[in-house]
Structure 1
Amino acid sequence: MLSKTSFARRVALASAALTGLALLGSAPAQAAAQAATPVCDNVCVLDVRSGAHADFDRVVIDLAGGRPVTRADESDSPSYVLPSGDVKDLQTPGSSYLFLGLQGAGIVDTTGKKVYTSPDVVATNLSAVKGVQRIPDSEGQVDFGLSLGSHSRYSVFTLTAPDRIVVDVYR
């Protein structure tokens, strides 16, 4: 039978060993997480996602490496102008359109690998946001067009940890 002192010593040693194993296991996991984060000359635009909430629809643009300067312009027209001067229309119809310009952003990392993982055109089944489309970007800027349904207003803001741009479109 073990004495109380001997038992306590064994529990302390086992606890120390488990803590050591946990610390060893977390170092590779932390290194893998850091290696998975892309490095871009500008802010990396990773993907776009959307969802419905009680009073609004939300579009989130996930980023890495900071937050770009963001411009938002609402329009009655789905038309946009490419850097080449060509005029195109957003593919998803809406009753109005919101164009976002992310200045200081890109979709490729420093090795030239594309880091943007979402499709270029995402039709949604939401009431206020009908679709999101990545517009072919110009140097140092990524643009998106949102096709909107009936809505009262919108709000564009940024969040951190992780970095992202959020667009709330209120019904």
Structure 2
Amino acid sequence: MKNHWIPRGLMTACAVAFLLTMACDLKKPEERVRESAQTMMQAKVDGKWDQVYDLYDADYRKTITREDFIKRPRNTTYKGFAIESVEVLPSGTEAVVRMTETVSVQTFEFKSPVIPQRWIKADDGKWYQRVEESQNPFSRMFQNQTAPAEAQPKSLTTPPAK
């Protein structure tokens, strides 16, 4: 009498493993972006800056070493976050995550307005936060605005003595 149940059991186990693997790959792109954003923000809350570094895009990682990023002084402590929305753009390789952050600076705690983050899908299929060029936060407020004439600085030169 042959034991046919061993090959059948093995085939069943392989089929179940295959189906579970396929089910993991069936996640919607929005879910994958949300998971990456949650992982990054939780790493910020937990102070795991090596994990934060790994979730930034490759172009940013070329500008700073992991060691320098981890050692960077931080005056802000992340206390929490809330993801408001996730939108994958039609290209399928870019997404916008809108979230709020609760941060502490010294003894003061602040909740941010909704902040849009850009995420990109890399060739490895993973999502990374796109780091934009640093910008003065007040520059957007005053774009294309000129100061009124009376607010223009006056010359600091004194008229010649007569």
TM range (shorter): 0.3 to 0.5
Higher alpha-carbon Rg: 2
TM-score by length of 1: 0.33
Higher RCO by CA contacts (8 Å cutoff, separation 6 or greater): 1
Please report the TM-score for the alignment, with normalisation by the length of structure 2: 0.35
Q: Hey, which of these two has a bigger chunk of strand by percent?
A: 1
Whose helix fraction is larger, Structure 1's or Structure 2's? 2
